[in-house]
Amino acid sequence: MTATISSRLLDWYNDHARHLPWRAPPGEPRPDPYRVWLSEVMLQQTTVAAVTPYFAKFTKTWPTVEALAAAPEEDVMAAWAGLGYYSRARNLVKCARAVSEMGGFPQTEAELKKLPGLGDYTAAAVTAIAFGERAVVVDANVERVVARLFAIEEPLPGARKAIRVKADGITPDERSGDFAQAMMDLGATICTARDAKCLLCPLRDPCEARKTGDPLRLPVKAAKKPKPSRTGTAFWIEKDGAVWLVQRPGKGMLGGMRALPDDGWSARKNGNEDAPVSGAWKAVGVVRHSFTHFDLELGVAVHAGNASAPSGEGDWWPVSQIEDAGLPTLFAKAARLVLAAR
């Protein structure tokens, strides 16, 4: 059955592979490991549609891993703004510099795992797709396909060990990179979370979940715990057509990103005690943002008058060029709120 699954899937992939800018079509020479690695880091918890323009911008600005390694970290962070999960961008720079010092990407899964920010999945993906070596590549799409294919009933995340064992059992020695991408494509287009197009699926005959008549039930997911909520205030301080921006600490939420000053997301009920400068403040509204572990409601306050620079490090940024500041999504929302309120 293993040979049947891999051969059926690869035959399907030959005709239905998605055309993505970081891929090489079936039968073509393998893609540059830099492009594979960069795309896989960007795609973690992010959609293909969201990643595609960022990938194009990054590869145009930094066409090689050596170019990315030489880039100032703040430039990379600004270019990453809006993709979220900003620790990925910091690790991107660290990894690029490590690879540049090594003279290129290592070609084994074990050595790739030693690089900053490369976990099991990314190392396996680069190994298989860029270097053509056999590796077991399991992302969320592959998890879903395998859970349905073998009717794995154990809820996630506990089922991941069994899913990986089954994925290992069907991964072929040849074309393991194409096989991994075929599994991803099958999960993204045919065996999706909300739909199972079994009539179009090349694995419909061996699929155990299809035989049960309810493939959408799998994979079983543990009940989500409700997210806690936090509140805070962001402060808009403007002088002579420029707004005061700070750089957030390197560690922690949105680490290293350029942002509006805020109160640490611990707003008090009785005013703006944590405002970076004294004076009159006007509340202009609230923006909401959902992080992985909590939801945030951020009030936005505008300083009345032509303020002086707050204490601490920061820069005056032209308001007319605020879109070029590389603000993360949360603070970009706050800036748009202020400008819309005028």
Beta carbons of 254 and 330 less than 8 angstroms apart: yes
**224-to-101, 125, 138, 283, 324 alpha-carbon distances in Å:** 43, 28, 22, 34, 37
Place of tokens 């891993």: 65
Cα(116)–Cα(99) distance, rounded to whole angstroms? 10
Report the length, in residues, of the chain: 342
Q: How many other β-carbons are positioned within 10 Å of the β-carbon of residue 306?
A: 9
Q: Which helix (H) or strand (E) holds 236?
A: strand 229-236
Q: What are phi and psi of 303, to 5 degrees?
A: -75, 130
Candidates 230, 291, 240, 290; CA nearest to 263 is: 230
Catalytic residue chosen out of the listed positions 40, 74, 143, 313: 40
Cα(25)–Cα(52) distance, rounded to whole angstroms? 17
Cα(210)–Cα(183) distance, rounded to whole angstroms? 17
Q: Which residues pair with 303 in a beta bridge?
A: 281
Tokens representing residue 228 in the block: 């806690």
Cα(295)–Cα(224) distance, rounded to whole angstroms? 14
Q: Does residue 153 have an active-site annotation?
A: no
Residues with active-site annotation: 40
